[in-house]
Amino acid sequence: MKKSSAPQGERASQNSPRRRTSPKKAPEDERTSSVTYVRKLKGKRPIVALTAYDAPMAKLVSNAGVDFLLVGDSVGTTMLGFNTTIRVTLDAMVHHTAAVRRGNPDCLILADLPFGEASLSFDRLLEACRRLMQEGGADGVKIEGGKDVADDIERLIATGVPVMGHVGLLPQTVKVIGGYRKFANDKE
């Protein structure tokens, strides 16, 4: 029996999906799975994203023509049986982000920063981003909020953390606002 050269716990297969990268990997800013590439799309065409929570889901959407995958804290309400996203922990987000990365190793992946991680201190926020990127394999993070988190987002970007903001209806504040309702009807 031929021994597999795949890392322990992973199976090498002739039927594995082909990676989009060539043997000579293009620089980050030229790949279609990079933050730089997605930024260049702004205003040119709609940017397409899908949410994934595990490896099978990530594999299924790999050929759907998405620009990036989001590992959302909505995993709590859609997969874990919670009635809000508030109970989703950083450990859970790292776990699900790593699963999505294993399922789609070449796609741009952003991970939701769970409830509370952006509100305690910048050091804790940076550590949460580090875990999502280093342990989970995320390429960047999504943070809910507006003016209240803008300064911290600027600091994160200055340290090299790509950030996607989320304004309007903020599911992590659903307890405060009294339920889900329409938000952000105008540019302000």
33: domain CATH number?
A: 3.20.20.60
Q: Which residue has the tokens 């509370």?
A: 116
Among candidates 143, 152, 154, 153, which has minimal Cα distance to 115? 143
In a domain, 124, yes or no: yes
In a domain, 7, yes or no: no
In a domain, 21, yes or no: no
In a domain, 97, yes or no: yes
Give buried/exposed letters for 72-86 (b at 16+ CB in 10 A, else e). bbbbbbeeeeeebbb
In a domain, 167, yes or no: yes
In a domain, 47, yes or no: yes
Cα gap 6→77, rounded to integer Å: 34
Most confident of 79-83, 117-121, 142-146, 180-184: 79-83
Q: Structural domain tally of the chain?
A: 1
For the segment 110-124, what is each residue's pLDDT rounded down to a tens digit?
999 998 887 789 999
Give pLDDT, residue 185: 58
Residue type, 119: S
Its domain, for residue 53, covers 28-177
Cα gap 171→50, rounded to integer Å: 17
In a domain, 171, yes or no: yes
Write down the mean pLDDT value for the chain: 78
In a domain, 13, yes or no: no
Helix axis angle, 122-130 relative to 147-158, nearest 10°?
A: 60
Higher pLDDT, 8 or 53: 53
| Percent above pLDDT 70 for the chain | 70
**Prediction pTM value:** 0.72
